Amino acid sequence: MDRHQLVIDTLNKKERDVIPFHLDLSNSVRQRLIDYFGDPQFEDKVGNSLAQERNESFVDLGNYRERDMFGVVWNKEQEGDFGVVDNYLLTEPSLNNYTFPKPDEALIRQKCERLVHSHKDQFTMYIIGFSLFERAWTLRGMTDLLMDFLLNPAFVEELLDRIVEYNLAVMDIAMQYDIDCIFFGDDWGQQKGMIMGPGLWRQFLKPRLAKMFAKAKAKGLYVAQHSCGDVHEVFPDLIEMGLDIYNTFQPEIYDVEQMKREFGRDITFYGGISTQQLLPKASPEEVKAETRRLMTLLGKGGGYIVAPTHAIPNDVPTENILAFLEVVQHQ
């Protein structure tokens, strides 16, 4: 089966009898499944419709500390893949004492080559994670950045502009390859409503996202955006900017039916299988039933990639992952 075409069709709202899927895993669960299958390469064999590479690399500093490409040190002692920031670099609302990195060209080329050569029949996505708001707060601190929106708007504008500049330069290199999609990751949502609210999002983030989206679109690439939490207020904005794929789509947050009705013609939902309310605590039978329910509901008329709402965390039993796989692999 041509998994690539399957994704393209769903993006074009063409219903097929099979729905594309993707198994997103956290590192600890990946390790657990490698042991379970006895195969370090099992992920290449589950049948994922998507192939993804991330624009990211870390330097291991020992003692559970890793430094990212922007110089931020992450403490990874606790549960989770990226941990929390140890050292906020912008202690003042100013860029005077900070030098922005240049894109790591060798890394981007290596990852894009892998995407185009090893995943010929998959839909290929280059991920620019922490693409705007998150990059800004990992440098400045979330609390300070949120206050800066109101107290030091000029600084925020400058900081965000520099981040966009970096991302555009990354895209320049990545888009020399025959990839399908640029996938931006940036969390704006909380369980109910947006962290910074739709007003500040429109003022500070939207125009810059629009620039990045437009660059990809101009080259004929698809654009995907990840945000955890509840961002329904800006769906019309995202659609207006030409967004193709929205990722996470937490069903405990959205009225799935209504969202499909309202936005399903314009956008493809990628996610939906809850890592918050379903996968950790349901029985395998319930996981199967819910996966089927969402596939029927969201797959109608195309526009759905079935997947967990987040990289599956460690509290999800292996049986539930297998239950998900059984449904999506045997359509």
Contacts of 200 (CB under 8 A, 6+ apart): 149, 150
CA pseudo-torsion sign 65, 57, 4, 265: positive
187 binds, among ligand B12, other proteins, none (CB under 5 to 8 A by kind): ligand B12
Burial of 262-293, coded b for 16+ CB within 10 Å and e otherwise, reads ebbebbbbbbbbbbbebbeebebeebbebbee
Of the residues 132, 136, 179, 195, which one makes contact with ligand B12 according to CB under 6 A: 195
DSSP for 111-172? Answer: HHHHHHHH-TTSEEEEEE-S-SHHHHHHHH-HHHHHHHHHH-HHHHHHHHHHHHHHHHHHHH
Using CA atoms, how far residue 276 sits from 56, 281, 311, in Å, is 26, 9, 11
Of the residues 6, 171, 313, 323, which one makes contact with other proteins according to CB under 8 A: 313
Task: Single out the segment in contact with other proteins by CB under 8 A; choices: 64-72, 117-125, 185-193, 259-267.
Answer: 185-193
Q: From the CB of residue 217, how many other CB atoms can be counted at a distance below 10 Å?
A: 16
Which residue lies nearest ligand B12, judged by its C-beta? 80
Of the residues 143, 283, 318, 329, which one makes contact with other proteins according to CB under 8 A: 143
> What whole-number distance in Å separates Cα of residue 130 and Cα of residue 276?
21
Residue span 199-218 as binding mask against other proteins, x where in contact by CB under 8 A, dash where not: xx------------------
Shortest gap between Cβ of 311 and ligand B12 (angstroms)? 5
Cβ atoms of residues 154 and 35 within 8 Å: no
Of the residues 35, 84, 207, 258, which one makes contact with other proteins according to CB under 8 A: 84
Identify any residues that bridge with 183 across adjacent strands, giving them in sequence order: 127, 224
Of the residues 5, 190, 203, 331, which one makes contact with other proteins according to CB under 8 A: 190
Q: How many residues bind ligand B12 (CB under 6 A)?
A: 23
Cβ atoms of residues 329 and 3 within 8 Å: no
Residue 195 DSSP class:
S
89 binds, among other proteins, ligand B12, none (CB under 5 to 8 A by kind): none
**Per CB under 8 A, 272 contacts other proteins:** no
**Per CB under 6 A, 276 contacts ligand B12:** yes
**Per CB under 8 A, 314 contacts other proteins:** yes
**Per CB under 8 A, 298 contacts other proteins:** no
Shortest gap between Cβ of 314 and other proteins (angstroms)? 6
Contacting ligand B12 within 38-77 (CB under 6 A): none
**Per CB under 6 A, 249 contacts ligand B12:** no
**Per CB under 8 A, 92 contacts other proteins:** no
Binding site for ligand B12 (CB under 6 A): 26, 78-82, 84, 142, 187, 189-191, 195, 228-229, 248, 250, 275-276, 309-311, 313
